[in-house]
Amino acid sequence: MRSTGGIAMCVSVLLTMAGSQTQYSDFHLAGDYLLGGLFSLHTETKSSPHLSYSAVPTCQAYKLKKASYSHLRAMRFAVEQINNSSTLLPGVSLGYEMVDVCYLTNFIHPILYFLANKHSVVQLHNNYTHYQPRVLAVIGPDSSQAVVIAAQVLSLFLVPQISYTATTNELSDRKRFPTAFQTISSMEQQIVAMQLLLKEFRWNWINILYSDDDYGRQNLKLLRARVVIVLSLELILPFFFQEAVRQNVTDLVWIATEAWATEPALYNITDLWRLGTILGVAVKEFSIPGLDDFRVSLAEGANEQASDQTTCNQECDQCLRAAQDAEHSMRAQGERTDFSVYSSVYIVAHALHRLLGCNTTGCHKRMVYPWQLVPEVKRVNFSLLNERINFRERGTIPNSFEIIQWKWDQPNNPFQKIASYSRNKKLLFTIQNISWHTPNNTVPISVCSQQCEYGQRRKPVTVSSCCFECIDCEEGTFLNNNDLYNCQPCPADQWSNARSQKCYPRLLKYLEWQEGIAVVLLLFSVLGLVATVVISVIFAIHLHTPVVKSAGGRMCFLMLASLIIGFINVPVYMGIPTEFKCMCRQIVYTLCFTVCISCLTVRSFQIISIFKMAARLPKAYSYWMKYNGQYIFITVILALKVTIVVTNVIIHPSIPVPLVLEDDPSTVELQCNKSFKLSLLMNNSLDTFLSILCFYFSYIGKELPKNYNEAKYITLCMTCYAVSEIAIFLAMSVYRGMLVTICDVIGVVINLLGISIGYFGPKCYLIFFHPERNTAAYFQSVIQSYTMRQD
């Protein structure tokens, strides 16, 4: 809506010459066709007197509207051009009647005046097809509220109505207002232009001031956003801005609607520049050739016309003199809405031209009714000053707005264009050096929250989702662009650092082949394997010697075979854990070690039996020897061990599971089962018992002949086993993952080497370096010495 002009203009086309009766209009011009115009030449500044049909208020009670005179002259200029044209309405001269409607308080009277017939009577009919009012078309009024009320009346009479400054969207309802048209874009386009302006400067935290009227409420509804905008008519703004200046409100950015974006009265408020930068959405400025000269000639003749009381309803001669004084302000405001007035007159003229069947030689004059003009207005399509004029389906001209800035240092051009609003809903800035009331002329920041950085979610701090805090997304979460207010958790197999926008696969860690500890362990296992194989060959060669027999004889090969299998199994602890590798870890070593430690236990028991049990329990000893008690013992222990292992595998399946480390959740380590501690405890329970029993038997036989005394060697083996088991359980109590695996494989290698080197190594030493001790005579002499000491 255009409120600054405060003009309502009506165009009436009469098919008879204007009579000599007293005119209701302020200005009139005789012609073949009479055009009527309603202007808000004054606005109420105090309570208005009672208005009657025959009386209008005096100008002392009203304030002059300067822009209205500019519109009045644009209409008169258009009429004069059309009358002088040889191509548009040839042979037809147009006249006009113009009435001051005093903005809002007097616009109903002129509407009824133009709807009346030549006898000044508005007749009521069921059908107005053949009703001929005083006018065929109405242009205006300008305020949205007045336009809608007028449209409701004029639509009943099917009288075309063209509004040149009212931006209300209600007129787009073709069912309610079939005869209403607009030569200015609707509120919707104005709001889109504002939104683009806000987007351009990234303003999202704004105060909204709006007047409690149709204009303010409709604009606010369309905006639906947060911005520093004044949605109001210009009537109350002088008081508001004067108070703002008085209270020293400074350095703000004000965004004006079209209603007051180019209002000279506001621009001239004292010290208004202190409020800050004023931007606005204004009607696009068009240059109408000859209009400036036409304005000057009218102003020069104003005093002469002011004395004619028959053409001016205002009871003073100040009305037109004020127009002359306002000439400078009208030039400063620019020819913005003037073109809308100018084009409105041409629209009616082109519609009438088609209706009268005009050609280059003349027109076919006939009786014309208002409803006949409506379809012709809808179909107008012509070029005026290089601008295409036509109505779309909604009855409005395409967008015609631009962004302007109030320039305080350029009084001759106070409203400077800075951007144009294109038809494809884009702002095209014509200048980049906008004057801001900020240090170094930087663009003001008007946001309640700074833009969050990557990987930061928005946490609302008020009921409005516009204001928020930026919170870093924690580790293990990421920010999805579809939800800026919540950090999403990563999938189980993925991870993210803090402030991430995506997750990445967790780093898989395991004991790799090329790692130093793995290479060392493999080297020792290979050495142990080679040593065990060599020991097996040595023992096979010297199987019947006393040293091999005292070590266990053929039972030694069962131990050596278990050790070889154990060393071969060491590589399954390296590389990516698989189900097969995990099964080997859980089964192979523990069975092999159980076989070895059960052989050591039964060998310790046998030596004690030979020297102590045979004499005391000869029958029991004979049964032990007769039925190979040592192999029965080993078989029972092995069967029990197999039962434990099978049960353990069933309870704790050997399936690799990912283990997320608390100290480094970005990595995941594969563990052979979820309950590694319980599984290891079950497997080692029998071995622990056998080791204690073996150590006990060795301790009892510490006084036996040294050739049969295995106490120190078995003690060495059991010490290695105890240390490795304690280390593993301590590591499991403190650490998780790969470190436990490393401790486990170290314990395996140490235990295997402990038996291979610690138990069989001394025997090989005697065989190679003390062959004199590897004889039956030497063993007999040692036994006799032991027997003599016991006696």
- What does the pLDDT look like over 118-144, one tens digit per residue? 777 888 888 888 888 888 888 878 777
Provide the pLDDT confidence category of residue 347 given band limits of 50, 70 and 90: very high
Is the pLDDT score of 753 beyond 60? yes
Angle between helices 318-325 and 66-83 (to 10 degrees): 90
- The two structure tokens encoding residue 138: 């109405």
Share of the chain above pLDDT 90, in %: 15
Provide the pLDDT confidence category of residue 258 given band limits of 50, 70 and 90: confident
pLDDT, average across residues 10-37:
49
Q: Write the pLDDT tens digit of every residue in 321-337.
A: 555 555 555 555 556 78
Residue 686 three-state SS? helix
pLDDT, average across residues 455-459:
88
**E strand or H helix at 695:** helix 676-700
- Kind of pairing, strands 507-509 and 494-495? unpaired
Provide the pLDDT confidence category of residue 2 given band limits of 50, 70 and 90: very low
770-773 — which CB contacts under 8 Å span 24+ positions? 773/547, 773/707
d(CA 559, CA 557): 5
Q: Name residue 615's amino acid.
A: A
pLDDT for res 103: 60
- The two structure tokens encoding residue 88: 């548009």
Residue with tokens 């004059």: 365
pLDDT for res 526: 94
pLDDT for res 217: 57
pLDDT for res 463: 63
Provide the pLDDT confidence category of residue 567 given band limits of 50, 70 and 90: very high
CB 223 within 8 A of CB 194: yes
pLDDT for res 23: 47
Residue with tokens 């069921």: 126
Provide the pLDDT confidence category of residue 399 given band limits of 50, 70 and 90: low
Provide the pLDDT confidence category of residue 787 given band limits of 50, 70 and 90: low
- The two structure tokens encoding residue 343: 């084009």
pLDDT, average across residues 644-663:
83
Q: Which residue has the higher pLDDT, 698 or 156?
A: 156
User: At a CB cut-off of 8 Å and minimum separation 6, what does 16 contact?
Assistant: 118
Is the pLDDT score of 195 beyond 60? yes
User: At a CB cut-off of 8 Å and minimum separation 6, what does 265 contact?
Assistant: 66, 234, 238
CA triple 526-527-532, angle to 5 deg: 100
Is the pLDDT score of 31 beyond 70? no
pLDDT for res 529: 94
d(CA 181, CA 139): 9
pLDDT for res 39: 64
**E strand or H helix at 616:** helix 614-616
- Kind of pairing, strands 401-406 and 415-421? antiparallel
pLDDT, average across residues 561-582:
91
pLDDT for res 661: 73
Is the pLDDT score of 288 beyond 60? yes
The distance between the two most distant Cα atoms of the chain, rounded to a whole number of Å, is 169
Provide the pLDDT confidence category of residue 465 given band limits of 50, 70 and 90: low
- The two structure tokens encoding residue 191: 């709001």
pLDDT for res 487: 93
pLDDT for res 631: 85
List the beta bridge partners of residue 758: none
CB 217 within 8 A of CB 224: no
Lowest-confidence region among 146-155, 213-222, 533-542: 213-222
- Model-level pTM? 0.56
Lowest-confidence region among 130-144, 546-560, 637-651: 130-144
d(CA 43, CA 497): 67
> How many CB atoms neighbour CB 325 within 10 A?
14
Is the pLDDT score of 12 beyond 60? no
CB 364 within 8 A of CB 203: no
CA-atom Rg of the chain in angstroms: 54
Provide the pLDDT confidence category of residue 527 given band limits of 50, 70 and 90: very high
Q: Which residue has the higher pLDDT, 739 or 532?
A: 532
DSSP 8-state class, residue 4: S
Provide the pLDDT confidence category of residue 47 given band limits of 50, 70 and 90: very low
pLDDT, average across residues 558-577:
92
Q: Which residue has the higher pLDDT, 266 or 550?
A: 266
Q: Phi first, then psi: what are they for 282, rounded to 5°?
A: -125, 160
Lowest-confidence region among 302-306, 343-347, 446-450, 615-619: 302-306
Q: Write the pLDDT tens digit of every residue in 50-90.
A: 222 333 333 333 344 555 667 778 888 998 999 899 899 99
Q: Write the pLDDT tens digit of every residue in 476-488.
A: 899 988 888 899 9
pLDDT for res 534: 94
Angle between helices 738-758 and 711-734 (to 10 degrees): 180
**E strand or H helix at 714:** helix 711-734
Q: What is the mean pLDDT of the chain?
A: 78
Is the pLDDT score of 316 beyond 50? no
Q: Rounded to a whole number, what is the distance in angstroms from the first to the last CA of the chain?
A: 132
Is the pLDDT score of 279 beyond 90? yes
d(CA 301, CA 137): 29
Q: Phi first, then psi: what are they for 72, rounded to 5°?
A: -60, -45
Q: Which residue has the higher pLDDT, 104 or 765?
A: 765
Residue with tokens 């069947």: 357
Provide the pLDDT confidence category of residue 16 given band limits of 50, 70 and 90: very low
Is the pLDDT score of 621 beyond 60? yes
